[in-house]
Structure formats: C-alpha cells, structure tokens
Amino acid sequence: MSDGGKYRLRRYGQFRFSADTGRLTHIPGTSYFQSVEVNPLNGGKSRQFASLTADTVESRFLHELIRFDFAQLTGQKHLEDNGLIGVHQIQTLATSGIPGNPTPEGIHRDDEIYTSERLIARHNIDGGINYFYGSAAKPTTCPQTVWKQESYFDSYYFDRTLWHEVSPIVSGSDGGVGFFDLGMAIVGACREGSGIAFEKAKQLLLGYQKVITLRSIERETLKTFAVYAATATSFWRFRQYHLRRPEPRLYDQHVEMQSLADTISEYPDSCFMELFTEVTAPCSETEPSA
C-alpha cells in the first residue's frame, strides 16, 4: 500500500464472459490498473497481485455466481459481449492498536461499469461500515445510506457513479457497534469551520439508526469517541508526515485535527445527547459555548 500499510491481502484474476452463451474463460497473469483520478493513493500504475488459486478459477460456484450477478444488472443489454470480469478476493486485517482500512483512499468511485461486493466473514473486529454518498457530480456532505455487512454473503451492487467508502476496522472489542465509527463519521463528514455542524450530525445519526439502533451507553459515549477520532486522526497525520513519509509542506496538518479534538471536548454533553431527540439540534453554532 502506498500509505505504508500492510493490512490488506488480495488475490486477483480476470475472466472473459460471453453474455450470449454464459461461457467464462480465465485470463492468466493479469495486472490491475486504476487511474490517479479514481484512486489518488494507489492509482497511476499497474499492480500485480497473487493469482486466484486453481480451485477458485475452476469453481462452479464462482462461475454460477458471476452469471447470477450479470442477470441482476438492469443495464446488461448495454454491456459488450465477451466483456472482462475482475474477481478480487480481499482480506483486511486489524491487530491490537493497528486498524485496518478497507478503503484507504477515502470517499471514491470505482472505475468499473458494475461492481458486486460480498462479505465472506467477520472475525473479532468492530467497524467496517459502508457509507454511500450518492451519484451526483460530487459526493454529498453526509452519507445518504449507512450499512454494516454482518452476515455471510451480505451483498450489494453499484455502478461507477456511486460515491462510497468503508470505515476502518479495529480488532476485538467488547463494546457494541458504532462507537468509533460514528465518532469518525462525525469528525470527517460533519466538520464545519473549527467545530461540528450539529444539524448535519443529527441527520447522519437519523439515517444510521434506521439500520442500527444505538444503545444507551453508545449514545452517552459518542462525544468521547468523537474526541478520540479527531485525536487519532491527528496522531496518524503526525506519524505519516513527520516520521513515516516526511513531507515538510504537510508538517502542520495534525494541528487542525488536534484543535478540533479540543473544540469537541469543550462542547456541553447535551449537544451530543440531544442529537437523538426529535427537536432541532441544540448546538446549531459550530463553536462551543463559553
């Protein structure tokens, strides 16, 4: 990974697919390329991954799954016959104190006509929540849809217009879902000026809770984890730009997030607790009260 991370394992392969006959032909030894515009972190070069195993290439289940996916696509009549199908097997790892990042490039689009994504397994992790930001020319400020894949084969389809990202995963925690991820989402998507736009945060939580209802302890600790998220981001920036990949022009990038952490800590607890009420968000101003 260009960010220095070693948290993602991948096998990759390509098939040529005949829409007329359903025939799949494996193409050995292929590389994977994305433009810098699509993937600013790892784009602009051909990447070589470990090949799919022979069992995977020959798997009748995989072949039928590809045919099934193709049959679900509303725009299949517009696809060329003998088109290319890319198969990615990706495992994202998180160890104690070191999170794994499924989408290190952040909010992005995939440069594929269609993509289907399926969860195979989750083990001893929290996080990994999908955020979807619409299909307009630019992503929406807050996610339009939030979904956590939890069960075997939880799946979704999307095309190249959809803006999306997946939150980092962290290793084994006894806490419930949503702690760190919602804190990070508020810091990343609902920041405005030097503080938090609470009305945006309220809308984010309303959407989130249509899928997952937060428990009392999760609501009560949301402010704490928002501070933690901003602090963790500040630490990452300092480590990245001072130590791992020194970049003098970015030396002060961590200060912005540390200032945000200080600002969030000064907000009254009620600003966060009342995000879960029916009334208008109480802290409409982004600055903390004196």
Q: Give the pLDDT score at 178.
A: 42
Is there a domain that residue 106 lies in? Answer: no
Could you tell me the residue range of the domain that residue 274 belongs to?
191-290
Is there a domain that residue 244 lies in? Answer: yes
Is there a domain that residue 242 lies in? Answer: yes
Is there a domain that residue 201 lies in? Answer: yes
Q: How far apart are CA 239 and CA 4, in angstroms?
A: 11
Question: Which of residues 21 and 178 earns the better pLDDT score?
Answer: 21
* Average pLDDT across the chain, whole number: 84
Residue 230: closest CA among 203, 191, 278, 281: 191
Is there a domain that residue 15 lies in? Answer: no
Residues sharing a CB contact under 8 Å with residue 80, sequence separation 6 or more, in sequence order: none
The secondary structure of 102-165 as a DSSP string is S-TT-SB--SSSEEEEE-----SEEE-EEEE--SSSS--SS-SEEEE--STT-EEEEETT--EE
Q: pLDDT tens digit string along 198-233? A: 988 888 888 878 777 788 888 888 998 899 888 888
In percent, the amount of the chain with pLDDT more than 70 equals 88
Report residue 116's pLDDT band, with 50, 70 and 90 as the boundaries: very high
Q: pLDDT tens digit string along 68-93? A: 988 887 665 666 677 899 999 999 98
Q: Give the pLDDT score at 265.
A: 93
Report residue 26's pLDDT band, with 50, 70 and 90 as the boundaries: very high
Number of domains in the chain: 1
Count other Cβ atoms within 10 Å, centred on residue 33: 13
Is there a domain that residue 197 lies in? Answer: yes
Is there a domain that residue 88 lies in? Answer: no
Q: How far apart are CA 157 and CA 60, in angstroms?
A: 21
- Give the sign of the dihedral formed by CA 44, CA 181, CA 144, CA 90: positive
Q: Does position 36 have pLDDT exceeding 50, yes or no?
A: yes
Pairing of strands 169-171, 83-92: unpaired
Contacts 24+ apart (CB under 8 A), 36-42: 38/108, 38/109, 38/110, 38/111, 39/105, 39/108, 40/105, 41/1, 41/2, 41/3, 41/104, 41/105, 42/1, 42/2, 42/104, 42/105
Q: Give the pLDDT score at 60.
A: 93
Give me the phi and psi of 192, to 5 degrees please. -145, 120
Q: Does position 180 have pLDDT exceeding 80, yes or no?
A: no
Q: How far apart are CA 107 and CA 44, in angstroms?
A: 18
Over its C-alpha atoms, the chain yields an Rg (Å, rounded) of: 21
Q: Which two tokens stand for residue 119?
A: 């969860």
Q: Give the pLDDT score at 174.
A: 46
Q: Give the pLDDT score at 54.
A: 95
Q: pLDDT tens digit string along 127-141? A: 888 999 999 999 988
Count, residues in the chain: 290
Is there a domain that residue 142 lies in? Answer: no
Q: How far apart are CA 57 and CA 27, in angstroms?
A: 10
